[in-house]
Amino acid sequence: METSEDTLDPSDWNAFRLQGHRMLDDMVDYLEHLRNQPVWQPMPQEVRHSFQQPLDDGQHDLGKAHATFMKDVLPYALGNVHPGFMGWVHGGGTPVGMLAEMLAAGLNANLGGRDQAPIEIERQVVQWVRELFHFPKTANGLFVTGTSMANLLGVLIARTARLGADVRHKGITADNQQLIAYTSASAHLSITQAMDIAGFGSDALRKIPIDELHQMDIAALELAIAEDKKAGLTPFFIAGTAGSVDVGAIDNLRAIAELCQRENIWFHIDGAYGALGMLAPDIAPRLQGIERADSIAFDFHKWGQVPYDAGFILVRDGKLHHSAFASPAAYLKRESRGMAAGSPWPCDFGPDLSRGFRALKAWFTIKVYGAEKLGQVISNTCALAQHLKRRIEAEPQLELLAPVALNIVCFRYRSTDANRVNADLVVALQESGIAAPSTTTINGQLAIRAAIVNHRTTTSDIDALIDATLALGRCAARCACS
Ligand SMILES: *Cc1c(COP(=O)(O)O)cnc(C)c1O
């Protein structure tokens, strides 16, 4: 077969540069004028159907693809960049993070391993994370997709800690111990999934009841451990939560740390969004005990405002972390000089071999905004939650459904058939484009749940949420009666 000089690079670099500038300008315009747009709007059927073209639709032009993106993709995104977005726990991203993503993509670095500056950037972020959580120099960390993955890694490392590195070839059933894990009833589903995926089965996870502050009940936890031990089972893992997904509760991390030390149990923290509260001087004291964890899972893409995706796991015992994943392979041979130097590599600390340059957007975010400013953003979202709480308490038609510990507020519109009315109300709010909360269930009651994570959200957005809730609530209550 004949060879070709035809690459995928542009034949006209100047035209490409101009087109690139137009794309950058469009995204900067979008971010600058977000507020004038609805948070979210339903996608018309013809737009949805426009994404069902055959593999070769005959269009091979960057400008045209960009025009399609502007017309059919950008207006129908979820809207978590928008200041009125308060659903689930989504970060807002930043213009700086966007540019960092472009640089990372241009470099197209593979951070699995080898001797390269991008890995030093990841190691720099690992060092900052260690410092933030007061972990020793021997601790190690790794970027992963998100906290769901980081929680899974936490379970796998704890498994190796308990059963030894032999477990990696003999499997978890080899030495006849039945390993049991514990977390609170309001913990994130990803802990259950981690137990499932790791092969223990989700039945080996005890869901401990929560108290009135939505924190794991420590006495009930102690009791469950004692009962399992009496039954000949082996408690090996406790996942505390720092910032629960439904109400933002922080477990008593110090008490869990004591218990884990006494019982020789791995102390993992799901701090998906809450752990970065360490950046905020008014929140950090409430995370006391986090510095005693064996592993911490968290996301830079939530409170850290880094663009998706940027999850992270920090492990106190870096050697153990290595022994849970590292494997020799001829094609991954290490050297002391040349490109194969710099061992251990990130691929030795998790299941991914090829890895993107997630660290760069986190590095840029921290470098450009600074830890202090990022902490202020976190404090501000909590202050906004308190503002929302006060507005709810001042409105007779509204009712608070859970304590407001951090940045999440659960409330509802008072009505007969309240669960249905509030479910309809949340859909109406989302479709209004004014504000976008989501729902959760608190003690069997459907709650409107506003999670304030976005650095762009201000009191005017909170007030708009309240005004729209009252107006649409009247309407939803009327529709439910008729
Ligand atoms: C968001 C969240 C997760 C899951 O994190 P992902 O990054 O979405 O995988 C886990 N736990 C809590 C408490 C969360 O808020």
Query: Distance from the CA of 202 to the center of ligand 1, in angstroms?
Result: 18
In a domain, 227, yes or no: yes
Q: Is residue 146 in contact with ligand 1, taking CB distance under 6 Å?
A: yes
Helix (H) or strand (E) holding 206: strand 205-208
In the predicted model, what is the mean pLDDT of residues 311-321?
98
Residue of 431, 436, 473 lying closest to 452 (CA atoms): 436
Query: Distance from the CA of 18 to the center of ligand 1, in angstroms?
Result: 39
> Are 222 and 295 in a shared domain?
yes
Strands 445-451 and 438-442: antiparallel
In a domain, 98, yes or no: no
Which tens digits make up the pLDDT trace of 109-140? 999 999 999 999 999 999 999 999 999 999 99
Strands 234-241 and 179-184: parallel
Query: Distance from the CA of 188 to the center of ligand 1, in angstroms?
Result: 7
In a domain, 209, yes or no: yes
Query: Distance from the CA of 185 to the center of ligand 1, in angstroms?
Result: 15
Cβ proximity of 388 and 293 under 8 Å: no
For the cut 70, the answer to whether the pLDDT of residue 422 exceeds it is yes
> Are 393 and 349 in a shared domain?
no
In a domain, 47, yes or no: yes
Print the domain residue range for 286.
Answer: 110-328+335-356
Q: Which atom of ligand 1 is nearest to the CA of 299?
A: 7
For the cut 90, the answer to whether the pLDDT of residue 477 exceeds it is no
Q: From atom 2 of ligand 1, which residue's Cα is the shortest distance away?
A: 272
What pLDDT band is residue 480 in, cutting at 50, 70 and 90? Answer: low
Q: What angle do CA 195, 197, 198 make, to 5 degrees?
A: 65
Spatial distance between the Cα atoms of 375 and 76, rounded to a whole number of angstroms:
31
> Are 341 and 381 in a shared domain?
no
For the cut 80, the answer to whether the pLDDT of residue 459 exceeds it is yes
Q: Burial of 120 by CB count in 10 Å (0-12 exposed, 13-18 middle, 19+ buried)?
A: exposed
Helix (H) or strand (E) holding 96: helix 95-107
Which tens digits make up the pLDDT trace of 443-453? 999 999 999 99
> Are 313 and 439 in a shared domain?
no
For residues 188 and 174, the model is more confident at: 188
Residue of 155, 166, 146, 180 lying closest to 323 (CA atoms): 166
> Are 274 and 394 in a shared domain?
no
Which tens digits make up the pLDDT trace of 93-108? 999 999 999 999 999 9
Cβ proximity of 39 and 86 under 8 Å: no
Averaged confidence pLDDT in the chain? 97
Q: Residue 148 has what pLDDT?
A: 98
Q: What are phi and psi of 448, to 5 degrees?
A: -80, 125
For the cut 60, the answer to whether the pLDDT of residue 482 exceeds it is no
Q: From atom 5 of ligand 1, which residue's Cα is the shortest distance away?
A: 147
Query: Distance from the CA of 243 to the center of ligand 1, in angstroms?
Result: 10
Q: Is residue 183 in contact with ligand 1, taking CB distance under 6 Å?
A: no
Q: Is residue 101 in contact with ligand 1, taking CB distance under 6 Å?
A: no
In the predicted model, what is the mean pLDDT of residues 392-404?
97
> Are 122 and 219 in a shared domain?
yes
Q: Is residue 299 in contact with ligand 1, taking CB distance under 6 Å?
A: yes
> Are 172 and 34 in a shared domain?
no
Here the CATH number for the domain that contains residue 379 is 3.90.1150.170
In a domain, 88, yes or no: no
Q: Is residue 424 in contact with ligand 1, taking CB distance under 6 Å?
A: no
For the cut 70, the answer to whether the pLDDT of residue 481 exceeds it is no
> Are 306 and 342 in a shared domain?
yes
Here the CATH number for the domain that contains residue 159 is 3.40.640.10
Spatial distance between the Cα atoms of 127 and 436, rounded to a whole number of angstroms:
36
> Are 350 and 454 in a shared domain?
no
> Are 256 and 127 in a shared domain?
yes
Q: From atom 12 of ligand 1, which residue's Cα is the shortest distance away?
A: 272
Q: What percent of the chain has pLDDT over 90?
A: 95
For the cut 60, the answer to whether the pLDDT of residue 210 exceeds it is yes
In a domain, 195, yes or no: yes
Which tens digits make up the pLDDT trace of 38-59? 999 999 999 999 999 999 888 8
Q: Residue 59 has what pLDDT?
A: 82
In a domain, 101, yes or no: no
Q: Which atom of ligand 1 is nearest to the CA of 244?
A: 13
> Are 203 and 282 in a shared domain?
yes
Q: What percent of the chain has pLDDT over 70?
A: 99
* Poorest-pLDDT segment among 5-9, 257-261, 292-296, 368-372: 5-9
Which tens digits make up the pLDDT trace of 191-201? 999 999 999 99
Which tens digits make up the pLDDT trace of 77-93? 999 999 999 999 999 99
> Are 218 and 252 in a shared domain?
yes
For residues 174 and 153, the model is more confident at: 153
Q: Residue 410 has what pLDDT?
A: 98
Which residues partner with 438 through β-bridges?
449
Which tens digits make up the pLDDT trace of 333-348? 999 999 999 999 999 9
Spatial distance between the Cα atoms of 416 and 331, rounded to a whole number of angstroms:
67
In a domain, 138, yes or no: yes
Q: Residue 330 has what pLDDT?
A: 85
Q: How many distinct structural domains can be found in the chain? A: 3
Give buried/exposed letters for 347-382 (b at 16+ CB in 10 A, else e).
Answer: bbbbebeebbbbbbbbbbbbeebeeeebbbbbbbbb
